[in-house]
């Protein structure tokens, strides 16, 4: 019986090295692809998170009162059924997104519904809150002569029992490029579509909402201000024409 020919030890060693090297290379490649994939996934997710934080983070540390102020209010329910809105919290931010005023408010009427799921306001927040009349006076003083930015500002001004010059209002719920089929979009939808951020996930944060409105305004400021300027010019032109018509009618009657 013949013995099986033994492989030269050198060849056996070489074959083992070649085989091991191939597996090692494949292993390294797989590992590298896996790590890169995970890194890329982490990077993508991280970028989204950083982008969301960055967009709604103040662009300056300056907390001074600027010519443009964004406002957002949270309401509570008063009246026997709690279906009448009253001011529960108000926030003002400057053009950089820094808070210049943020107060909980004690309404004149008794609060029946704190609307916490949306407003984020709880009974303890209003126990030592400023009285409505004090807040109203302070806010009116801050807004005097300013460009007022916000979303559906008619609701905020209504609960404040204040008015503001129409020419100085920049409402993201009424700006033509932000409308869809002539209708207003929710602030959270505008923030997602235009700024790429998610807001109002659960309880609303007036600081976050005011910042989002200001960021939307800043992003479209040039186009927005031009449309306002054109509208003012058109109104002035129309106003100048009216007296001429009246004068002509008066001379015809005589």
The predicted pLDDT at position 38 comes to 37
Please name which of 19, 12, 62, 76 lies closest in space to residue 204, comparing C-alpha atoms: 76
Q: Report how far apart the first and last C-alpha atoms of the chain are (Å, whole number).
A: 143
The per-residue DSSP string of 182-229 comes to TBPPPHHHHIIIII-----SSS--HHHHHHHHHHHHHHTHHHHHHHHH
Taken in order of first residue, the domains within the chain and their CATH numbers are 68-228 (3.30.420.10)
Give the β-pairing of 84-93 and 68-78: antiparallel
d(CA 204, CA 114) in angstroms, rounded, equals 13
Residue among 154, 219, 168 nearest 191 (CA) = 219
Write down the pLDDT at residue 10: 60
pLDDT at residue 231, rounded to an integer: 84
229 token code pair: 């300027």
What distance in Å separates the CA atoms of residue 239 and residue 223, rounded to the nearest whole number? 24
Question: What pLDDT was estimated at residue 251?
Answer: 53
Specify the pLDDT at position 193. Answer: 94
Task: Please list the rounded mean pLDDT of every run of 10 residues in the chain (254 residues).
Answer: 55 59 48 38 45 68 96 96 96 97 97 96 96 98 98 97 96 96 94 93 93 96 93 82 57 52
Distance CA 187, CA 200 (A): 9
Q: Would you say 70 and 213 are in contact if contact means Cβ atoms under 8 Å apart?
A: yes
Sign of the alpha-carbon dihedral angle for 242, 245, 250, 253:
negative
Q: What count of other Cβ atoms lies within 10 Å of the Cβ of residue 185?
A: 17
Cα separation of 169 and 215, whole Å? 15
Query: What's 129's DSSP letter?
Result: P
Q: What is the CA radius of gyration of the chain?
A: 32
Residue 78 host element (H or E):
strand 68-78
H-helix or E-strand containing 99? Answer: strand 99-106
pTM of the model: 0.72
pLDDT value at position 157?
98
CA 88, distance to chain mean position in Å, is: 20
Instruction: Specify the residue for token string 């209003």.
Output: 126
């Amino acid at each position: 019986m013949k013995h099986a020919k033994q492989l030269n030890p050198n060849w056996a060693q070489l074959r083992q090295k070649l085989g091991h090297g191939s597996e090692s290379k494949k292993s390294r490649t797989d590992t590298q692809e896996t790590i890169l994939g995970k890194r890329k996934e982490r990077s993508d997710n991280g970028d989204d998170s950083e982008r969301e934080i960055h967009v709604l983070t103040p662009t300056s540390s300056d907390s001074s009162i600027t010519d443009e102020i964004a406002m957002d209010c949270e309401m509570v329910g008063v009246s026997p059924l709690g279906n009448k809105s009253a001011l529960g919290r108000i926030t003002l931010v400057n053009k950089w997104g820094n808070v210049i005023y943020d107060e909980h408010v004690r309404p004149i009427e008794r609060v029946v519904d704190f609307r916490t799921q949306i407003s984020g306001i709880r009974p303890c927040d209003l126990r030592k809150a400023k009285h409505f009349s004090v807040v109203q006076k302070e806010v009116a003083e801050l807004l005097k002569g300013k460009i007022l930015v916000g979303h559906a500002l008619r609701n905020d001004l209504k609960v404040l029992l204040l008015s503001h010059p129409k020419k100085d209002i920049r409402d993201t719920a009424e700006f033509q490029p932000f409308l869809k089929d002539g209708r207003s979009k929710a602030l959270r939808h505008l923030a997602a579509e235009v700024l790429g951020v998610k807001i109002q996930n659960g309880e609303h944060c007036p600081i976050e909402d005011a910042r989002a409105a200001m960021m939307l305004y800043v992003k479209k400021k040039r186009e927005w201000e031009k449309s306002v300027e054109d509208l003012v010019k058109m109104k002035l032109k129309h106003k100048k024409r009216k007296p001429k018509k009246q004068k002509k009618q008066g001379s015809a009657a005589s």
